[in-house]
């Protein structure tokens, strides 16, 4: 559950940065300098959100466990692969 909360927090941060981009478009109509400042701040917030999403994905790789988050599979951030039993070709399957 902790991974899902990390992903949700990252997506909320990214969503806030998109709201910042929309606010930037409105502010730049009135004052260009403030619009540029808000654009840079929104860009930084977007970058931090993407970085946080990546860090949570790496944390999940390290401590692992299955996830229901299909976005990670599509982005190739984290794909759960169950552990396969070891195969020993020298082992005899049935005693003779």
| pLDDT confidence band for 2 (50 / 70 / 90) | confident
Residue indicated by tokens 């070891």: 86
Element (H, E) at 26: helix 2-30
Give the start-to-end residue ranges of the domains of the chain. Answer: 2-75
Contacts of 17 (CB under 8 A, 6+ apart): 42, 43, 45, 46, 49
Cβ burial, residue 7 (10 Å; 0-12/13-18/19+): buried
Phi, psi angle pair for 10, to nearest 5°: -65, -40
Task: Please tell me the pTM assigned to this model.
Answer: 0.69
**What is the tens place of the pLDDT at every residue in 3-51?**
778 888 998 999 999 999 999 999 999 999 999 999 999 999 999 999 9
Q: Specify whether the CB–CB gap between 35 and 48 falls below 8 A.
A: no
Q: Give me the mean pLDDT over the 57-67 stretch.
A: 74
Residue indicated by tokens 């984290």: 78
């Amino acid at each position: 559950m902790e991974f899902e909360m990390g992903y949700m927090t990252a997506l909320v941060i990214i969503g806030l940065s998109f709201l910042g981009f929309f606010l930037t478009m409105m502010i730049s109509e009135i004052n260009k300098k403030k619009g540029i400042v808000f654009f840079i701040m929104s860009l930084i917030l977007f970058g931090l959100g993407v970085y946080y999403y990546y860090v949570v994905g790496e944390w999940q790789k390290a401590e692992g466990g299955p996830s229901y988050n299909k976005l990670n599979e599509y982005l190739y951030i984290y794909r759960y692969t169950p552990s396969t039993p070891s195969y020993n070709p020298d082992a005899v399957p049935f005693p003779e």
